[in-house]
Chain A
Amino acid sequence: NAGVTQTPKFRILKIGQSMTLQCAQDMNHNYMYWYRQDPGMGLKLIYYSVGAGITDKGEVPNGYNVSRSTTEYFPLRLELAAPSQTSVYFCASSLGTRKNTGELFFGEGSRLTVL
C-alpha cells in the first residue's frame, strides 16, 4: 500500500491564482482530513470528510474548498491564493469511528508559498 499520497510536494503561487492540492489514499479509510501547519502553531484542521459525498468545515476553512466524490480522493482547492495561505498542507486519513478517532495516517505534505 502506498498509504496517503499528496501532490505536489512544492508549489509557488502568485496572489490571486488558484490551485488544487491532490490527495489519495489506498487504505479504504472512511475519514479524510486536510490540515495546515504553520511554524510554532501546530496542525490546524481545514476540512474533513467522513465518507464519499460528505464534507465539513474544520477550524480554518476560509479560502478553501474540498470535494469527496470517492472514498480514495480528497482534493483541496484554493480559489484566490493569498499570502496568509503560505503553509505546509497535510492530508490525512483514518479508519474513523465516532468519538474514538483512530490513528491518523499523514501524507508527506505539500509546501505552498504565495507571493
Chain B
Amino acid sequence: GENVEQHPSTLSVQEGDSAVIKCTYSDSASNYFPWYKQELGKRPQLIIDIRSNVGEKKDQRIAVTLNKTAKHFSLHITETQPEDSAVYFCAASWAGGGADGLTFGKGTHLIIQP
C-alpha cells in the first residue's frame, strides 16, 4: 500500500512570512495529491489538490508543487496570516489493489506568530 511521510510535524513562522510543508509518497502509481486544512476542533477541508499530469498549481496565496520523479510534493503558503494557523494534511491517492481511497500524512501543525 501507499505510505506518505510529511515534514515538519510543527512549523512556526512569523506573520507575513512564507511556509513550506513537504511530503513524500511511496507508490509510483499514485496520481492524485490533495491538501487538507483542519482548524482546531473542526473537520478537515480540502484547500488545494494536484494531479500527476501537472507540476504546479496555484490558488491565491497557496501553491502546490509535484515532482513525480522524486515522489515528493509540497505546499507553499505565502504572506501568512493568523487564520492560516491550523493542522495541514497531505495525502496521496491509493490507486493500487482496485480500491479507491487516500493515504494521509501525519499532519503539520502550522503556527503563525504575530
Q: Which residues of A contact B (CB under 8 A)?
A: 31, 33, 40-45, 48, 50, 56, 58-59, 90, 96-101, 103-104, 106-109
Which of chain B's residues have a CB closer than 8 A to the CB of A101? Answer: 32, 34, 93, 100-102
Contact B43 A100 (CB under 8 A): no
Which of chain A's residues have a CB closer than 8 A to the CB of B104? Answer: 42-44
Contact A58 B100 (CB under 8 A): no
How close is B32's CB to chain A, nearest CB, in angstroms?
A: 6
Which of chain B's residues have a CB closer than 8 A to the CB of A104? Answer: 34, 36, 44, 46, 102
Is B95 an interface residue, CB under 8 A from the partner? yes
B95's partner among A50, A58, A99, A109 (CB-CB below 8 A) is: A99
Closest to B49 in A: A103
Which of chain B's residues have a CB closer than 8 A to the CB of A43? Answer: 44, 89, 104
Which residues of B in the span 19-57 have a Cβ within 8 Å of any Cβ on A? 31-32, 34, 36, 42-46, 49, 51
Given the complex of chains A and B, what is the CA–CA distance between A103 and B9 in angstroms?
24
Closest to B52 in A: A100
